[in-house]
Structure 1
Amino acid sequence: MSQLLLIIKREYLQKVRNKSFIIMTFLSPLIFTGLIVLVAYLSKINNAEKQVISVYDETGLYANDFEGYENYEFDYVSTEKEFAQVTSQVVSSEKYGLLYIPNEPVTKLKDDVVFFAEDAPNMDVINYITEVLENKAFESNLKNDGVSVEDIHKASTSVNIKIENFNGEESSKTANILKLVFGGAAGYFLMMFIIIYGNMIMRSVIEEKTNRIIEIIISSVKPIKLMMGKIIGTSLAGITQFVVWLCIGVVLSVVVSTIFHVDLSTVETPHKAMLENSGAMEAMVQDGVIEFFKLPLLTLIVSFLIYFIGGYLLYSSVYVSIGAAVDSETDTQQFMMPVIMVLMLAVYVGFFTVINNPHGTIATVFSFIPFTSPIVMLMRIPFGVDLWEIVVSVIILYLTFVGVVWLAAKIYRIGILMYGKKPSYKELYKWLKY
């Protein structure tokens, strides 16, 4: 046990004292925050710049229908001018575009309205213009049929469907979105952590093997202890780096918001402004906060830690055995592809099956397969999973980890002393039988 602790300490200190590790630990949050600030600043500039669209309406029916849409303004041009003259003025003044509405009945404008622009226009504004024209045609058809538009608006109503299980527990669309966000973020974060720090462990093994340091270390330490020490030590270094990133990121966010007066929330979606104007965004945020505290946070956190540790240890064992089997990082490609493919499969299964049916057959089966369960089950748990499923899945995961460690130790024991030969899958199978 003392040897294992010494190896863990050595691996941890070796990683955290490395100059590149220190530089990237403190530089990465600065770069990431800088990119967010830059995007927020550019978004602010983009929204401040008004784009003018000239409207040449020969019908004279749309004078009050096109209003300011986001950062677009509509300039109504007099139809007393020739269309060619108006087109020339729009081009010379470098306006965003020209909307031409011919003098035809509203109900017959289906294919005759034209939007002229120097470059490809924003499809959101095209959709907005199309919606206005369609609404006008719809109202015109109602009037022609003797139907009152006001009566139609009075008769229309909205329905808010409540979501509730058979035990009387209420839910909502916002709650389902929060569950999806938590599950997706947890699964994606685990995948990225495995790839980043699994590669770090693999490179560490390759480096020691190349420098022949491993021959000296292995003379006094059992291979399995050395392997586990590398996995745990590098994992602790990765967690340390992540915690530092989180702390620096929070501090930088506060500093940027208070000192430089840059609101990071200005990185907005195309229709955020419309939601804010209508008050829907504020209601959504309030509903989100209420639903967040209704979630089983303790269960989610505990489950995340259990699957995070199990999944990372499982894949780290695979990364260590790959590092021991090869002489250079270039030779790892043939072994890395299956690992990456399995991780990607877990993510895609999670997103494309858990979203539609978190308790379906596919989602359930993949949440028991140990190489996909850490990601898929993390995505399912927020939607409510029976305790026995979680217990069985965790048992299978950790038993598989023990089995993979045993197999990886066999490969590690032989591979770290093997030089000058590119191993194949057939060769690795032979090592497992030694």
Structure 2
Amino acid sequence: MNNLKLIIKREFIARVRNRTFVVMTFLSPLIFVGMISLITWLATLNNDEIREIGFFDETGSFIADFKSSDQINYINYSDLTLNGAKDSVVLKKLYGLLYIPKKQSNAELARSIQFYAEEAPNISILNDIEKVIAGKLTNQNFEEKGLDLDVIENSKAKVNIQIENFSGEKTSKMSNYVKMIFGGAAGYFLMMFIIIYGNMVMRSVIEEKANRIIEIIISSVKPLQLMMGKILGTSFAGILQFVIWMLLGAVLLTVATSIFGVEAQPVGMDASLAMQESNQEEIQLVLQDILKLPLATLVLSFLIYFIGGYFLYSSIYAAIGAAVDSETDSQQFMLPVILPLMLGIYVGFFSVIENPHGTVSTVFSMIPLTSPIVMLMRIPFGVNWWEVLISIILLIGSIIFITWLAGRIYRVGILMYGKKPTYKELFKWLKY
């Protein structure tokens, strides 16, 4: 036990004092927040860009319908010829030219409209243009059939479905998105932690093996103790780094939001009141949905699956590090390690979100290699306690079994040099 404590302490100090560890601990939150701020700033610049679009309307019916906005400025070239309009658009380097030909029927006109541009136009811009034209043609069709447009407009019904459970509690329409964000973030962070710090364990073993330090260490320490010491020491360093990242990230995001955040635009009192009336209830329901989430269960489960998933995969990473002589040689064994993690993420985002209690979601939340990710994504949607308990028991059992297997590979591979191992040889090492 004393040897294990010494190894844990040695690995922890070695990681924490490493220059790269120190630099990345304080630099990573800056890079992360900087990227978010840059993307937000670039998106703001992109939204502020005004696109100038020319239009050539042979029918003369749509001239008053294309009104300029904050993002699009329409220019009428209908008094020119089509070729003259094209030349003017190219010469002035406008975004594009909309051509509305004169046809005998609206049905034929709807199929004949063209948009000329050097590059493919933004899909949202095309959708806005199509909406304007479709609305105009629809009204014309109604008028041709003798229908009163005011009566039709006043007859339109707006439906707003209210969601409520059988106990009478109202729920927001954004409820599933809220659950998806919380569960998805927990699963994704867990996957990244396993990959980053699992690789640290593997590199530590490879470095000591390459420098032949391992031969001295193994003479006084049991291989299993050495492997567990590396896993625990690296995990403690990782948890410390993770906590620092969370604290720095929260501070930097607050500062970045206050500096680069978009200020609220002044609006009229009527518009402001209308916006408050339409959104206030929905915002309250979203906040209620967040408070109704099993946050305590989610935090506790995150810690359990965080530790369990890390131990499970770190044992595999340690065994791989002991089996190879360099990081390059380890690549042949990486696919079986990364594949379950990626599978867990894909199942989480494509199956859990769609049907959190379906067969696929339930099965993968029980399989130990994917359960740390998939179960964390399921918990915000509400999972029976016995399902979580079964998943944890299977995970603990797998940790014991995988650690035992990894230890057998570790004790043989740690002293093997100069030969690239195969899966067949690894299987033989289990029998030694």
Within 1, Cα distance between the matches of 2:99 and 2:135?
Answer: 17
Q: Residue 42 of structure 2 corresponds to which residue in structure 1?
A: 42
Q: Residue 149 of structure 1 corresponds to which residue in structure 2?
A: 149
CA deviations over 1:181-209 (Å, ceiling 9, x no partner): 11122112211111111111100110011
Within 2, Cα distance between the matches of 1:400 and 1:167?
Answer: 40
**CA positional deviation for 1:170:** 4.2
Bigger shift: residues 420-429 or 242-251:
242-251
Within 2, Cα distance between the matches of 1:256 and 1:189?
Answer: 22
**CA positional deviation for 1:31:** 2.3
CA deviations over 1:244-263 (Å, ceiling 9, x no partner): 222222332333344xx322
CA contact (8 A) 1:33 1:252 kept: yes
Q: Residue 71 of structure 2 corresponds to which residue in structure 1?
A: 71
**CA positional deviation for 1:65:** 2.4
What aligned pairs does 1:120-131 form with structure 2 within 5 A after superposition?
Answer: 120-131=120-131
CA contact (8 A) 1:317 1:408 kept: yes
Q: Residue 110 of structure 1 corresponds to which residue in structure 2?
A: 110
CA contact (8 A) 1:3 1:225 kept: yes
In structure 1, give the amino acid aligned to 2:19. Answer: K
What aligned pairs does 1:143-222 form with structure 2 within 5 A after superposition?
Answer: 143-166=143-166, 168-222=168-222
Within 1, Cα distance between the matches of 2:277 and 2:430?
Answer: 64
In structure 2, give the amino acid aligned to 1:226. Answer: L
Within 1, Cα distance between the matches of 2:27 and 2:76?
Answer: 51
**CA positional deviation for 1:308:** 1.6
Q: Residue 384 of structure 2 corresponds to which residue in structure 1?
A: 386
CA contact (8 A) 1:29 1:248 kept: yes
After superposition, the CA RMSD in angstroms is 2.4
**CA positional deviation for 1:167:** 5.0
Q: What SS does the aligned partner of 1:406 have?
A: helix
What aligned pairs does 1:9-408 form with structure 2 within 5 A after superposition?
Answer: 9-68=9-68, 71-77=71-77, 79-104=78-103, 105-166=105-166, 168-258=168-258, 261-263=259-261, 285-408=283-406
Within 2, Cα distance between the matches of 1:262 and 1:138?
Answer: 44
CA contact (8 A) 1:40 1:265 kept: no
Bigger shift: residues 8-17 or 341-350:
341-350
Q: Relative to 1, partners in 2 of residues 1:70 and 1:363: Cα closer, same or farther, differing over 3 Å? A: farther
In structure 2, give the amino acid aligned to 1:81. Answer: L
Within 1, Cα distance between the matches of 2:46 and 2:349?
Answer: 33
CA contact (8 A) 2:172 2:286 kept: no
- TM-score normalised according to structure 1 size: 0.90
Q: What SS does the aligned partner of 1:112 have?
A: coil
In structure 2, give the amino acid aligned to 1:312. Answer: Y
CA deviations over 1:229-275 (Å, ceiling 9, x no partner): 111111111122222222222332333344xx322799xxxxxxxxx
CA contact (8 A) 2:340 2:369 kept: yes
Q: Relative to 1, partners in 2 of residues 1:119 and 1:197: Cα closer, same or farther, differing over 3 Å? A: same
Q: Residue 419 of structure 1 corresponds to which residue in structure 2?
A: 417
CA contact (8 A) 1:36 1:264 kept: no
In structure 2, give the amino acid aligned to 1:140. Answer: Q
Within 2, Cα distance between the matches of 1:264 and 1:187?
Answer: 30
Q: What stretches of structure 2 of length at least 5 have no aligned partner?
A: 265-273
In structure 2, give the amino acid aligned to 1:415. Answer: G
**CA positional deviation for 1:153:** 2.8
Q: What stretches of structure 1 of length at least 5 have no aligned partner?
A: 267-275
Within 1, Cα distance between the matches of 2:169 and 2:303?
Answer: 27
**CA positional deviation for 1:37:** 2.6
- TM-score normalised according to structure 2 size: 0.91
**CA positional deviation for 1:279:** 8.9
In structure 2, give the amino acid aligned to 1:38. Answer: L
CA deviations over 1:207-235 (Å, ceiling 9, x no partner): 01111111122222222221111111111
In structure 1, give the amino acid aligned to 2:261. Answer: D
Within 1, Cα distance between the matches of 2:153 and 2:14?
Answer: 71
Q: Residue 267 of structure 2 corresponds to which residue in structure 1?
A: none
Within 1, Cα distance between the matches of 2:304 and 2:79?
Answer: 74
**CA positional deviation for 1:362:** 1.3
In structure 1, give the amino acid aligned to 2:88. Answer: Q
Q: Relative to 1, partners in 2 of residues 1:54 and 1:285: Cα closer, same or farther, differing over 3 Å? A: farther
**CA positional deviation for 1:433:** 1.5
**CA positional deviation for 1:70:** 5.7
CA contact (8 A) 2:171 2:285 kept: no
CA contact (8 A) 1:142 1:149 kept: yes
Within 1, Cα distance between the matches of 2:325 and 2:290?
Answer: 49
Q: Between the two proteins, what is the percent identity of the paired residues?
A: 55
Bigger shift: residues 188-197 or 43-52:
43-52
Within 1, Cα distance between the matches of 2:343 and 2:323?
Answer: 25
Q: What SS does the aligned partner of 1:329 have?
A: coil
Within 1, Cα distance between the matches of 2:70 and 2:353?
Answer: 31
CA contact (8 A) 1:368 1:392 kept: yes
Bigger shift: residues 320-329 or 43-52:
43-52
Within 2, Cα distance between the matches of 1:383 and 1:214?
Answer: 47
CA contact (8 A) 2:405 2:430 kept: yes
In structure 1, give the amino acid aligned to 2:74. Answer: F
CA contact (8 A) 2:170 2:285 kept: no
Within 2, Cα distance between the matches of 1:17 and 1:150?
Answer: 75
Q: Relative to 1, partners in 2 of residues 1:94 and 1:156: Cα closer, same or farther, differing over 3 Å? A: same
In structure 2, give the amino acid aligned to 1:129. Answer: I
Within 2, Cα distance between the matches of 1:161 and 1:183?
Answer: 26
In structure 1, give the amino acid aligned to 2:100. Answer: I
Within 2, Cα distance between the matches of 1:28 and 1:405?
Answer: 31
Q: What SS does the aligned partner of 1:99 have?
A: strand
**CA positional deviation for 1:281:** 7.3
Within 1, Cα distance between the matches of 2:176 and 2:209?
Answer: 49
Within 2, Cα distance between the matches of 1:226 and 1:150?
Answer: 82
CA deviations over 1:142-163 (Å, ceiling 9, x no partner): 2222222333332222333344
Moved beyond 6 Å, runs of 4+: 276-283
Within 1, Cα distance between the matches of 2:280 and 2:114?
Answer: 37
In structure 1, give the amino acid aligned to 2:251. Answer: V
Q: Relative to 1, partners in 2 of residues 1:81 and 1:422: Cα closer, same or farther, differing over 3 Å? A: closer
